[in-house]
Amino acid sequence: MCNYIVVSGGVISGVGKGVTTASIGKILKEYGYKVTAVKIDPYINYDAGTLRPTEHGEVWVTDDGGEIDQDLGNYERFLDEDIPKKNCLTTGQIYKTVIDKERGGEYLGKTVQFIPHITDEIKKRIKDAADNFDFCLVEIGGTIGDFENIPFLFAVKSLEREIGKKNLIHVLVTYLPTPPHIQEMKTKPTQQAIRMLSENGIFPDFIICRSKKALDNVRKKKIETYVNIGAEHVISEPDIDTIYRIPLDLEKENFGLKILKKFDLKPKKKPDFEEWGRLVDKIVNPAKKIKIAIVGKYINIGDYELTDSYLSINEALKHSGAGLDVGIEIKWIDSKIFEKDKNELKILKNYRGIIIPGGFGSSGVEGKIMAIEFARKNDIPFLGLCYGLQLAVIEFARNVCGMEGANTTEVDERVKYPVIDILPTQKKLMEENRYGATMRLGEYAAILKDDSQVLRLYEETNRLKEDNERLSELKKDDGQSFRLGILENKKIILERHRHRYEVNPEYISKIEEKGLVFSGYHIRKDKQKLMEFIELPNHKFFIGTQGHPEFKSRLTKPAPLFYGFVKACCK
């Protein structure tokens, strides 16, 4: 039977409940256990696909095509496991399922109610995700006291009753503020969070105290008496230099062994944090530092910049930096400044490399194209991600192939040279307004060209080999076989996607004639080829991908293209 660790948050949101959950998972995995994690999002949206990233952070994409809350990204990065979309539950999904069942007559005339029907559906989904694992972490989004949390708290309470207290524990991640005008760390909000949790019949087994500085004994004691748990169950988690240090810090308090003891379990193996610890040190104290620019459309909420919308790119750069012993300072540049004044482009000379991230719509597009042209002409390393690839193709078509005004039909439907377009099969679905169905979502196989730079990078980072092991797994799953398409007997890799438009097949040979290499492609079951990678020979580094390699990057396994890009930036 699976053991459950339910993680909820107190006081305020944004204190790092997600990375704490991920860190607990990492620790238990190090002790030799099979671990997975579930995220509960109490909003009504069915998934994160329609959420604006500036409001809710990045949309995370899973292998099986889920558009999910970014916390799942942290789980994957820390656990080094691919987590499927079913591991993200929203209120919208739960209610939709229950109402669909009711309409289908499945409740046989019964009154359908919050308890037990909604809570049963929640429990069913949690248990389903936990199947075949030793531990399942369940993170409840939001903060204790939110109305929207209540169904989920009821459900985990009911799960606890069903499987027994010895198979489920509660962890409360809370925050202890130190108001600047009194300079004293306050426990009161935490006490209130504990009280609110107990109103739902839930008593935390561990309290993780987030704060600016480590908790002193006076405050530990206060919390201990208030909750009536042993001091060893109050864990201090002060602010740190990098999130990747959290598992190491929690282990300093023997958190892993304490959790195992609660479940009456013993370590299955001796944990080995050496490699992880070495990389954490490289993140914090790299041998050298470089600056790179990410040119996108931005990202201001009131007075705050929300770089969370590109979280995975940040993390992927960190992973590659740690592997190469270089610290990367990222500067976010709003592409619109180039549209207003061309002279601004020269600021790009101050950076060792330029990334154009994914995006949608027409805003800021011309500025991004200008930045790509600047990178190409000045031999500055360039990495284009999804929209970044598409815009690089547009730039090349316009400025090298003489296709004046070339564009994507996403920006200009009647353009003379639609080098990026919706393919005919997708157009049909669009006309029927089935937008979701027109997206290419999740993992797809790409065939890499012999002798390409891209192939070399996938070989150098060992990903080619790993992806081939995964490929044989994927072949067994009939329902997912469309992700493979037609596999020629060649070098295959797998990356995640989230886009609607493609390089227009009609222009490929004209563009290739002028020197841009399409170094990888997917072949759909209907034999349609979709371009996956571009590269320019004779350039320090000029590579674009239709996928989102940032989603598969892990601290111990940097994504090949990011690795190659950072390496080129260092030269």
Catalytic residue positions?
A: 386, 548, 550
Q: 318 or 548, CB closer to ligand GLN?
A: 548
> Which residues make beta-bridge pairs with 544?
384, 534
Separation between Cα atoms, residue 326 and residue 329, nearest integer Å: 10
Task: Give SS3 for 364.
Answer: coil
Shortest gap between Cβ of 22 and ligand GLN (angstroms)?
A: 24
Separation between Cα atoms, residue 448 and residue 460, nearest integer Å: 14
Contacts 24+ apart (CB under 8 A), 21-24: 21/71, 21/74, 21/75, 21/137, 21/139, 22/71, 22/74, 22/75, 22/77, 22/78, 22/79, 23/78, 23/246, 23/247, 23/250, 24/137, 24/171, 24/250, 24/255, 24/259
Shortest gap between Cβ of 550 and ligand GLN (angstroms)?
A: 11
- The answer to whether 368 contacts ligand GLN (rule: CB under 6 A) is no
For ligand GLN, which stretch binds (CB under 6 A), given 100-108, 344-352, 498-506, 554-562? 498-506
For ligand GLN, which stretch binds (CB under 6 A), given 223-231, 264-272, 355-363, 554-562? 355-363
Contacting ligand GLN (CB under 6 A), which of 154, 244, 387, 417? 387
E strands of 381-436, at which residues?
A: 382-385, 407-408, 418-421
For ligand GLN, which stretch binds (CB under 6 A), given 166-174, 177-185, 346-354, 357-365? 357-365
- How many residues sit in the footprint of ligand GLN (CB under 6 A)? 10
19 close to 243: Cβ distance less than 8 angstroms: yes
Percent of the chain that is helix, strand, coil (3-state, to 5): 45, 20, 35
- Binding flags for ligand GLN, 396-415, as an x/- string (CB under 6 A): --------------x-----
Contacting ligand GLN (CB under 6 A), which of 501, 541, 551, 563? 501
- The answer to whether 359 contacts ligand GLN (rule: CB under 6 A) is yes
Neighbours of 525 (CB within 10 A): 10
The token pair that represents 533 in the structure block: 């990678």
Contacting ligand GLN (CB under 6 A), which of 500, 529, 554, 557? 500
Burial of 489 (0-12, 13-18, 19+ CB in 10 A): exposed
- The answer to whether 386 contacts ligand GLN (rule: CB under 6 A) is yes
230 close to 246: Cβ distance less than 8 angstroms: no
Phi, psi of 444 (to 5 degrees): -135, 150
- The answer to whether 26 contacts ligand GLN (rule: CB under 6 A) is no
Shortest gap between Cβ of 356 and ligand GLN (angstroms)?
A: 9
443 close to 64: Cβ distance less than 8 angstroms: yes
Contacting ligand GLN (CB under 6 A), which of 463, 499, 539, 552? 499
What distance, in Å, lies between the first and last C-alpha atoms of the chain?
Answer: 52
Contacting ligand GLN (CB under 6 A), which of 463, 496, 498, 552? 498
The token pair that represents 220 in the structure block: 């530990």
Q: 61 or 171, CB closer to ligand GLN?
A: 61
Contacting ligand GLN (CB under 6 A), which of 360, 378, 449, 459? 360
For ligand GLN, which stretch binds (CB under 6 A), given 192-200, 267-275, 499-507, 558-566? 499-507
- The answer to whether 522 contacts ligand GLN (rule: CB under 6 A) is no
Shortest gap between Cβ of 9 and ligand GLN (angstroms)?
A: 30
Q: 107 or 360, CB closer to ligand GLN?
A: 360
Contacting ligand GLN (CB under 6 A), which of 57, 65, 358, 384? 358
CB-based closest residue to ligand GLN? 358
Contacting residues toward ligand GLN, per CB under 6 A: 358-360, 386-387, 410, 498-501
